[in-house]
Structure 1
Amino acid sequence: MPRVRVPGEPWVWFTAVGLTLGLAMILGLLGLVLVEGLRAFWPRRVWELTLRPAGEGAAPVRLVGERVRDREKAGVLPSAVGAKPVPREWQMFLGNKEVYGQSFRYVDVADIAEVRLARGILRFERTEYGPLLAYPVAVEVPGMEPLTAEHPEFFTTLDRLLEEARQRRLEIRRLEKREIGRINREMESLHLELRRWEVQGGPPGPADEAWQQLTQRLARLEARYQTLADRARVLRQAQERDQLVCRLPDGRELRVPVGRLLAWYAPNELGFRGRLRVFASRVWEFLTEEPREANTEGGIFPAIFGTFVMTVLMSLAVTPFGVLAAVYLREYARQGWFTRAVRIAVNNLAGVPSIVFGVFGLGFFVYFLGGQVDRLFFAERLPTPTFGTGGLLWASLTLALMTVPVVVVATEEALAAVPRSVREGSLACGASRWQTIQRVVLPAAAPGILTGLILAMARGAGEVAPLMLVGVVKLAPELPINTTYPYIHLDQKFMHLGFHIYDLGFQSPDSDAAQPMVFATTLFLLALVITLNLTAIGIRNHLRRKYASSAF
């Protein structure tokens, strides 16, 4: 029996192929980000390369570093190669940036005469200038004989000195960010009190009791500040006391203060378990530490925290506005040309470029509303703005305004999916219109409302362009939520994972060093968005099961 051809069947296969290709591209992109992002933390082996002499009578050149990638040589045209193999080159990470002036170098594979593992070399993570690749020579501690690398207690002593340096760094951080920071805030409040008196007609005379108490309190705070600053200075000097003497691969000797070292490991002596421990420690540092070295080293915790807080605040702002607008349009507004025009306008707002919302947020929220708030409540701080500049609050409201069309459309569709018989049954039982909407319609439409919120969160968490105008910055170690009163600082600038990726990819002075961080940060941005979405999806599924009935 001949097969009957169904009209439109080829288009079904065509759309299936398109869907398959789309899924394959998405999975390929996610796989690339996953592999490159995790590879940034895996410890590489260090190789010693012997290059052929550049000319007759010249000495061979020796390079020591990590092989980052192997690629076709840049700038070689296929016509110039012919039948010969395509020339290749290695990108080598040399480290020791303060000595060599650069951390990376490309080496032509044809110029390599010998490749072998660099035995005995150590990799040191530092607070500045990036990693150090060197051979240990000795440790010098004032009042003690230098301890050479051949001594059996060398590495034990080095670990002990590193732990002491870490404790000093924590103490310096506590002094400067907590103690000194608290004193600075108290002194600032007292100076603002003086400024408030000046704004209101001038300060009282020197004989005034309140004035005397204020000046005495300022004097005590300044004395306490000086004491803590001196203590922090002594600790910083102690960080420079102990010295690590090491030999660079080119034979030069280098002295590095132990206080500038964070950790060390021998990359060529590590087994799989050792590499796994180093990998886990580097991932933990990346997730919990602050960035350093123009964001190419250290961690991204302030960016993760800022992205999370901003997304939560945006969700809290967009949900009531979007739901209320959808409820009015669907349940209360008279259906006519005006309502249709409003729906068209809402749908068009979803297609407006995000930078337009950023410009609107800068003009309306920052300059207009923020300027009014400063003039009414923070006049003593002027001309320094408090809310009249970019901050967490204005960034969250700007993104809420940008994503509210998504919530409105999704909520309207969810309300329209609730059967009319459910509404009529509630009204027949004596419930008012609002009681029906509140207790019957909205709970039944909650899964659809959460679908719109999920889409809004996914879009808002990944936006960068509007945030560049209304509050995000390159570096903001102070978190917008901390233990300092009033605990939630809505006027504070913050870091964002999306802007962090942009800054690393396009603004970094060292693009080679920033490239692994771009993939790693992208990976954790995707992980954060997926986590938020899965949480919302879990809540949606719970509500769907809770309010499921045979009527639907």
Structure 2
Amino acid sequence: MNISVKDWFKSGSPWVWMNAGAVAISIIMVVGLLGLIAVRGLSHFWPADILQGTYTQNGETRTITGEVVETSEVLTKQLIEAGINLPEDNEFSIRHLLKIGNRDVYGSDFTWVLEDFLSDQSRPEMLFTAERREWGNLYGYLRSIKESGNEVARYEGYEPSSEYLALWDNLEARIQRALDIHEDILQIEKHEIGAINYELERLRLKERSLQLKNVTETAPFAKIEQRRKELDDEYENLQQRLIDLYTDINRDSLTAEVANGKVVEVQLAKVVRAFRPNAMGIGQKSLHYAAKLWEFVSEDPREANTEGGIFPAIFGTVMMVLLMSLLVTPFGVIAAVYLREYAKQGFVTRLIRIAVNNLAGVPSIVYGVFGLGFFVYFLGGNIDDLFFPEAKPAPTFGTPGLMWASLTLALLTVPVVIVATEEGLSRIPRSVREGSLALGATKFETLMKVVLPMASPAMMTGVILAIARAAGEVAPLMLVGVVKLAPSLPLDGNYPFIHLDQKFMHLGFHIYDVGFQSPNVEAARPLVYATALLLVAVIALLNMSAIAIRNHLREKYKALEM
């Protein structure tokens, strides 16, 4: 049976194929983008081999070592025009971006090298990488271990032997010892001393409050002074423990020969881990990779956020989104219920709906400016005047913080929740309401026990859309609470446990900071990809949790809709 082109178009088949093709292209683009981000970000944690070679350019010869980070082709003609002496036989020349580390020695830990000038390439098993808390990676040959300034072991060769392996085992044991001491120091400084300082500040504020109230009794002041003395004694004991630990952790050091032949000494207290990637098998590299990934999601950042982990940013993002959800849901639902169930449907109601829809299109930075002016300066300043006069002139809530950031994003996303909830309420049959009223229920009872439960899947849809938008916002947060580095989490063991006035870190702002504000662009680039992938994963996890709740509610109340 022959069908003309005109009949084929009338049948609608071309539009079906076009829609299917558009969907397929969109899926391919999304998967491709996520794949690119994953490859660029996750490959950073793999322990790459260390290349060693002789680099000769402009009559100067030097030994160079480092990880090959990137390889690209460049027009030979451009290099010749730049004054580099190259043969014109090849149209393109290959160049490598090497991470040479040793920034404290060379001044820069990345350099470009041309393949034409690189010879005698090898990957010696003795070359090792030391990840440091400062100055990035150290690449070189392990030469000796010192204890309290005295050399306890040495090896001068360039080929591994039993003597060298014994030296390496000794180094690993001493690094682990330094790491254990570092954990003890961190526990004392961040938690124990932090708790004492927090309580001392609360005592100071309590004493100041008594002074403002013109309390003349000596008993309350004596009690505060007694507790302050107890805390001072605890602080002195912890300080002495810290002095002993710092003396102990600075006991050991290593010496290493770097590519230019210079021997450098590094305190083991500054070393996070040391490994020999050229001597590692696939299994060892896989374990190292898993350890680096775990460090990335569980540790604090270091080296201007270009090393270490991003756990504070993950925690801050999730906590802010949860608080925002708790704030936006009741406001959005109450507004939608009023507009749909109680408000007289007329010009004013239509005007309000138009305003709500327009609010959804307002740029997010405008909400940030509003949050800074109204929530922080006006509302927070008045809260400080009423409830925290003893802390002034230092602000308590009159400064950007977690609560104001959550409120600002709740205000930004409330139109989404209102619209979604209204749609859900409008789909509930009128007969259901009338049946409930006919059985003797009041309008409020009908609303609470029949209408809202049936509309709860639509409410969750609004919350899902709100989470999807709010979790990735950065511009308003820069004004109302997010910072580059937060020394402590907004949730800890100090009363009142959740510190809504505290500034916090956020994955979106972390991406902006590392990508555009980092002093070491090449070192920061892979972390931008890794953090972006993690942000997508966090948003997806939050959304999937909300979707699971919505589907459960939909199944639970499906029978009422039939």
TM-score normalised by the shorter chain: which range applies? over 0.9
Q: What is the identity, as a one-letter code, of the residue corresponding to 2:188?
A: L
Q: What is the identity, as a one-letter code, of the residue corresponding to 2:8?
A: R
- Counterpart in 1 of 2:63? 62
Change in CA separation of 1:551 and 1:286 when aligned onto 2, cut-off 3 Å: closer
- Counterpart in 2 of 1:108? 114
CA contact (8 A) 2:97 2:111 kept: yes
Within 5 A, what are the aligned runs for 1:362-381? 362-381=372-391
User: Hey, what's the Cα distance between the residues in 2 that align with 1:217 and 1:442?
Assistant: 52
Within 5 A, what are the aligned runs for 1:279-294? 279-294=289-304
- Counterpart in 2 of 1:42? 46
Residue 88 (str. 1) matches residue 94 (str. 2): yes
SS of structure 2 residue aligned to 1:73: strand
User: Hey, what's the Cα distance between the residues in 1 that align with 2:46 and 2:149?
Assistant: 39
Within 5 A, what are the aligned runs for 1:160-199? 160-199=173-212
CA contact (8 A) 2:198 2:494 kept: no
Within 5 A, what are the aligned runs for 1:70-469? 70-73=71-74, 84-142=90-148, 146-149=152-155, 150-201=163-214, 208-469=218-479
User: Hey, what's the Cα distance between the residues in 2 that align with 1:84 and 1:368?
Assistant: 68
| Shift, 1:83, TM fit | 9.3
User: Hey, what's the Cα distance between the residues in 1 that align with 2:75 and 2:377?
Assistant: 49
Change in CA separation of 1:74 and 1:99 when aligned onto 2, cut-off 3 Å: farther
- Kindly report structure 1 stretches of 4+ aligned residues shifted beyond 6 Å: 74-83
| Shift, 1:477, TM fit | 3.0
User: Hey, what's the Cα distance between the residues in 1 that align with 2:371 and 2:76?
Assistant: 45
- Counterpart in 2 of 1:471? 481
- Counterpart in 1 of 2:159? none
CA contact (8 A) 2:76 2:91 kept: no
| Shift, 1:61, TM fit | 2.0
**Can you list the C-alpha shifts for 1:410-454, whole angstroms capped at 9, x where unaligned?**
111111112222222222222222222222222222212111111
- Counterpart in 2 of 1:2? 2
SS of structure 2 residue aligned to 1:129: coil
CA contact (8 A) 2:75 2:91 kept: no
Of the structure 1 ranges 143-152 and 534-543, higher mean CA displacement relative to structure 2 is found in: 143-152
| Shift, 1:144, TM fit | 6.8
Please list every run of 5 or more consecutive structure 1 residues that lacks an aligned counterpart in the other structure. none
| Shift, 1:147, TM fit | 1.3
Q: What is the identity, as a one-letter code, of the residue corresponding to 1:163?
A: Q
CA contact (8 A) 2:416 2:465 kept: yes
- Counterpart in 1 of 2:84? none
| Shift, 1:19, TM fit | 2.8
Please list every run of 5 or more consecutive structure 2 residues that lacks an aligned counterpart in the other structure. 82-86, 156-162
| Shift, 1:347, TM fit | 0.6
Q: What is the identity, as a one-letter code, of the residue corresponding to 1:148?
A: R
Change in CA separation of 1:120 and 1:143 when aligned onto 2, cut-off 3 Å: closer
**Can you list the C-alpha shifts for 1:392-425, whole angstroms capped at 9, x where unaligned?**
1111011000000011111111111122222222
**Can you list the C-alpha shifts for 1:440-484, whole angstroms capped at 9, x where unaligned?**
222222212111111101111111111111111111131111111
User: Hey, what's the Cα distance between the residues in 1 that align with 2:394 and 2:77?
Assistant: 56
User: Hey, what's the Cα distance between the residues in 2 that align with 1:83 and 1:154?
Assistant: 49
SS of structure 2 residue aligned to 1:462: coil
CA contact (8 A) 1:290 1:477 kept: no
SS of structure 1 residue aligned to 2:474: coil
**Can you list the C-alpha shifts for 1:380-401, whole angstroms capped at 9, x where unaligned?**
1100000000111111011000
- Counterpart in 1 of 2:160? none
Of the structure 1 ranges 150-159 and 351-360, higher mean CA displacement relative to structure 2 is found in: 150-159
CA contact (8 A) 2:76 2:92 kept: no
| Shift, 1:260, TM fit | 1.2
Change in CA separation of 1:328 and 1:19 when aligned onto 2, cut-off 3 Å: same
User: Hey, what's the Cα distance between the residues in 1 that align with 2:375 and 2:107?
Assistant: 45
TM-score by length of 2: 0.92
User: Hey, what's the Cα distance between the residues in 1 that align with 2:294 and 2:561?
Assistant: 50
| Shift, 1:27, TM fit | 1.5
- Counterpart in 1 of 2:158? none
| Shift, 1:99, TM fit | 1.1
**Can you list the C-alpha shifts for 1:488-529, whole angstroms capped at 9, x where unaligned?**
111111110101001001111111100111111111111111
**Can you list the C-alpha shifts for 1:301-351, whole angstroms capped at 9, x where unaligned?**
111111111000000000111111111111111111111111111111101
CA contact (8 A) 2:207 2:221 kept: no
Change in CA separation of 1:543 and 1:111 when aligned onto 2, cut-off 3 Å: same
| Aligned residues with identical type, % of pairs | 49
TM-score by length of 1: 0.94
User: Hey, what's the Cα distance between the residues in 2 that align with 1:457 and 1:112?
Assistant: 52
CA contact (8 A) 1:204 1:211 kept: no
| Shift, 1:242, TM fit | 0.8
SS of structure 1 residue aligned to 2:116: helix
Change in CA separation of 1:496 and 1:76 when aligned onto 2, cut-off 3 Å: farther
Q: What is the identity, as a one-letter code, of the residue corresponding to 1:399?
A: L
**Can you list the C-alpha shifts for 1:243-269, whole angstroms capped at 9, x where unaligned?**
111111221111111111111111111
SS of structure 2 residue aligned to 1:501: helix
User: Hey, what's the Cα distance between the residues in 1 that align with 2:337 and 2:77?
Assistant: 63
User: Hey, what's the Cα distance between the residues in 2 that align with 1:77 and 1:412?
Assistant: 63
CA contact (8 A) 1:296 1:517 kept: yes
CA contact (8 A) 1:42 1:279 kept: yes
SS of structure 2 residue aligned to 1:147: strand
Root-mean-square deviation over aligned CA pairs = 2.3
Within 5 A, what are the aligned runs for 1:16-27? 16-27=20-31
CA contact (8 A) 2:8 2:14 kept: no
| Shift, 1:37, TM fit | 1.8
User: Hey, what's the Cα distance between the residues in 2 that align with 1:35 and 1:545?
Assistant: 39
CA contact (8 A) 1:240 1:259 kept: yes
Change in CA separation of 1:551 and 1:78 when aligned onto 2, cut-off 3 Å: farther
User: Hey, what's the Cα distance between the residues in 1 that align with 2:518 and 2:32?
Assistant: 27
CA contact (8 A) 1:239 1:260 kept: no
Q: What is the identity, as a one-letter code, of the residue corresponding to 1:277?
A: L
SS of structure 2 residue aligned to 1:268: helix
CA contact (8 A) 1:306 1:495 kept: yes
User: Hey, what's the Cα distance between the residues in 1 that align with 2:469 and 2:130?
Assistant: 40
| Shift, 1:75, TM fit | 11
CA contact (8 A) 1:64 1:118 kept: no
| Shift, 1:136, TM fit | 0.7
Q: What is the identity, as a one-letter code, of the residue corresponding to 2:64?
A: L
User: Hey, what's the Cα distance between the residues in 2 that align with 1:242 and 1:249?
Assistant: 23
Q: What is the identity, as a one-letter code, of the residue corresponding to 2:291?
A: S
